[in-house]
Amino acid sequence: MMEGRVYMITGSTDGIGKHTALQLAHAGATVLIHGRNKQRGEDVIKQIKDETKNNNVRLFISDLSTLDGIRKLAEDVKKSEGSIDVLINNAGVFLKKRSETTDGLETTFAVNVAAPFLLTYLLLDLLHAGNKPRLIITSSISQTNDINIADLQSCNGYRDGHGAYDLSKTIDLMMALEMSDKFNDAGIMVNSLDPGTVETKMLSEGWSCPGIPVDKADNTFLLATDAKYDNVTGKYFVDNVATEISNVCKDIKLRQEIWKKLEDITGVKY
């Protein structure tokens, strides 16, 4: 069913992204793998091809913590592909200590928020050319109901990193809701999800709770592939169920203010 369809997954050399890529390759799809480390990426590509016997798996290496790295990734993908049917913005970080990128952005915000915002913009033409295109932005049940729009870079009270992470995942959902409204006329279905509490490096680093095995983390794969989502947009899924969003995410004025800040930060205007 998925033969000929092109799926791109950021952050797919490990964890949920890698598992999703394996599932897609098993199903016969063309899979665009993204990672930061070339050797690790090549190892993953070999593993996926060996396990699935699917040679339509391609690797793209780039650092999404920098705006130049995001632009490089988009340029490389555009040189390689004529269309993308599903773009899965999966890459994310959790950092206990605050740091800044070369662009002067707090690193969690840069990878979790600025990267999907800018990458989606740069790859919109490929999504427009896709067949029943879908865009997925990974959020989390770890969200906040309190956003200080004057401190999106978590300069104050960073503490153990949870505040910055929760903020980033809340903005991810708000971003998906805005994109759903903007892209609806173009036929691009935009949704967000909590991928599940999964035994990943991130879970181990930031939370002391158990999770399901990575090879059982199917939520992202299902949202990306199941035909029942062909005409579903503007939803947030938890355990594959469309779930009520928080009050802060319903604040349209705040969403638009954050959107404008993201345009200013990334230098693009949708």
Angle between helix axes 15-26 and 38-52 (nearest 10 degrees) is 30
pLDDT of 203 strictly over 60: no
Q: What angle do CA 132, 63, 181 make, to 5 degrees?
A: 35
Cα(178)–Cα(264) distance, integer angstroms = 16
Model confidence band, residue 199 (pLDDT cutoffs 50, 70, 90): low
Rounded to an integer, the average pLDDT of 194-213 is: 67
Model confidence band, residue 217 (pLDDT cutoffs 50, 70, 90): confident
Q: How many CB atoms lie within 10 A of CB 129?
A: 14
Catalytic status, residue 165: yes
Q: Are 48 and 54 in contact (CB under 8 A)?
A: yes
| The pLDDT value given to residue 214 | 79
| The pLDDT value given to residue 1 | 66
Q: What does the mean pLDDT of the chain come to?
A: 94
180 compared with 200, residue with greater pLDDT: 180
Rounded to an integer, the average pLDDT of 81-98 is: 96
Task: Quote the tokens at residue 193.
Answer: 């999800």
Sign of CA dihedral 73, 181, 170, 252: positive
All residues at 6 or more sequence positions from 32 whose CB lies less than 8 Å from its CB, including other chains: 6, 7, 8, 9, 58, 60, 77, 80, 81, 84
Model confidence band, residue 206 (pLDDT cutoffs 50, 70, 90): low
| The pLDDT value given to residue 200 | 64
Q: Are 18 and 12 in contact (CB under 8 A)?
A: yes
Model confidence band, residue 212 (pLDDT cutoffs 50, 70, 90): low
Of the ranges 37-51, 134-148, 196-210, the best mean pLDDT one: 37-51
**97, 64, 102, 209: which is closest to 164 by C-alpha?**
97
Rounded to an integer, the average pLDDT of 61-70 is: 98
Rounded to an integer, the average pLDDT of 14-42 is: 97
Rounded to an integer, the average pLDDT of 243-256 is: 96
All residues at 6 or more sequence positions from 38 whose CB lies less than 8 Å from its CB, including other chains: 61
Cα(114)–Cα(265) distance, integer angstroms = 8
Cα(35)–Cα(13) distance, integer angstroms = 6
Q: H or E segment at 50?
A: helix 38-52
pLDDT of 211 strictly over 70: no
Q: Which amino acid is at 137?
A: I
Task: Quote the tokens at residue 221.
Answer: 């794969």
Task: Point out the catalytic residue in the list 7, 158, 165, 236.
Answer: 165
- CATH level 3 topology of 6-266: Rossmann fold (3.40.50)
**Burial track 218-235 (b if 16+ CB lie within 10 A, e otherwise):** bbbbebbbeeebeebbbb
Model confidence band, residue 210 (pLDDT cutoffs 50, 70, 90): low
DSSP calls for 102-144 = TTS-BHHHIIIIIHHHHHHHHTHHHHHTSSS-EEEEE--S---
Model confidence band, residue 202 (pLDDT cutoffs 50, 70, 90): low
**Domain ranges across the chain:** 6-266
pLDDT of 204 strictly over 70: no
| The pLDDT value given to residue 48 | 98
pLDDT of 245 strictly over 90: yes
Model confidence band, residue 216 (pLDDT cutoffs 50, 70, 90): confident
Rounded to an integer, the average pLDDT of 57-86 is: 98
Find the Cα–Cα–Cα–Cα dihedral 153, 248, 90, 68, rounded to 10°. -30
